[in-house]
């Protein structure tokens, strides 16, 4: 086995590969996050190739549609979890990886069941993303479905259901708001560090290859909805909580994970402004939003 260490949002991870598999080939998006530091890790994941383990004796939590890809979730009597991760239906829906997680996701095993590089990459990338989100749930850490633009030293997050226009809006900032650059386009990490909310790039960025090992204070979080006119308002805390919770990777049926996520959001809201933006996909939308949320 060959051990590789990575650091994402200040959390160290260790992934152990069999000698015949190349980490840069299977998880290339992790290359900017390579870490040589010693010390404790958030979790360790052992990677292997093989057939899918038998989870027939485990309790099925459910089958979940995750962006067009099916994830089966199972729970053992000792609290361990198993996830069956399949390719999106448009790619054939083949089972690609089985993730088995012990000790609150601190010890994980990823069995790569597919034969293609695409299956290996998709399966392990998703296994690592879930292990990160759920292992860090009690450590003031949120993996958020959002697109993030940086401007003036602050990171601005835009959340919305897939296909609503998050990426379109950040592109408008990049095009029309001087000094803007993209931090992440799908799954950035928000942490509360020394009483400050900070946004971090991650190895998970959806269809846009934006894997940047950078961070910034959070300027604002904005919920986007398509509207015929461009208008923006600040959300009340209760409304902001209800909006933000579904955007965070969580497991509602797991008390440890769910309570940890809710506690972090509750600590985040008093120090982070949250807005609602109704907008068209045009230049004015970016300028209206920027005028309302900009910091400094």
Distances (CA, A) of 41 to 14, 38, 295: 7, 9, 34
Position 12 scores a pLDDT of 98
Beta bridge partners of 292: none
| Alpha-carbon distances of 273 from 38, 146, 216, 218, rounded to whole Å | 36, 15, 15, 9
Token readout for 172 is 């408008």
- H or E segment to which residue 222 belongs: strand 215-226
Domains annotated on the chain, with CATH: 2-135 (no CATH), 141-293 (3.90.228.20)
Q: Which helix (H) or strand (E) holds 76?
A: none
- For residues 98 and 87, the answer to whether their CB atoms sit within 8 Å is no
**126 to 193, 262, 287: CA distances (angstroms):** 26, 23, 35
**Weakly modelled stretches of the chain, pLDDT under 50:** none
Q: pLDDT tens digits for 50-69?
A: 999 999 999 999 999 887 88
Q: What pLDDT is attached to residue 113? A: 96
Estimate the crossing angle of helix 166-176 against helix 283-293, to 10 degrees: 80
Q: What is the pLDDT of residue 66?
A: 85
pLDDT value at position 85? 97
Count CB neighbours of 260 within 10 A: 21
For position 118, what pLDDT does the model report? 93
């Amino acid at each position: 086995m060959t051990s590789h260490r990575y650091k994402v949002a200040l959390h160290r991870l260790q992934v152990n590969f069999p000698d015949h598999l190349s980490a840069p080939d299977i998880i290339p998006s992790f290359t900017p996050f390579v870490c040589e530091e010693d010390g404790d890790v958030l979790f360790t994941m052992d990677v292997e190739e093989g057939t899918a383990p038998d989870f027939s004796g485990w309790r099925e939590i459910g089958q979940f549609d995750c962006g067009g890809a099916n994830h089966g979730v199972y729970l053992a009597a000792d609290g361990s979890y198993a996830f069956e991760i399949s390719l999106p239906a448009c790619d054939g829906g083949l089972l690609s990886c089985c993730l088995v997680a012990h000790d609150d996701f601190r010890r994980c095993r990823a069995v790569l069941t597919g034969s293609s590089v695409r299956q290996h990459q998709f399966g392990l990338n998703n296994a690592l993303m879930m292990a990160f989100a759920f292992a860090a749930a009690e450590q003031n850490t949120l993996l958020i479905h959002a697109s993030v633009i940086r401007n003036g030293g602050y990171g601005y997050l835009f959340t919305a259901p897939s296909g609503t226009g998050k990426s379109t809006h950040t592109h408008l900032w990049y095009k029309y708001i001087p000094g803007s650059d993209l931090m992440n386009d799908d799954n950035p990490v928000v942490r509360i560090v020394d009483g400050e909310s900070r946004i971090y790039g991650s190895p998970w960025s959806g269809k846009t290859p934006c894997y940047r090992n950078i961070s910034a204070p959070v300027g604002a979080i904005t919920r986007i909805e398509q509207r015929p006119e461009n208008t923006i308002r600040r959300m009340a805390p209760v409304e902001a909580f209800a909006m933000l919770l579904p955007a965070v990777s969580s497991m509602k049926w797991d008390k440890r994970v769910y309570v940890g996520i809710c506690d972090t959001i509750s600590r985040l809201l008093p120090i982070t402004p949250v807005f609602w933006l109704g907008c068209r996909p045009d230049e004015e939308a970016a300028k209206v939003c920027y005028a309302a949320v900009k910091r400094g």
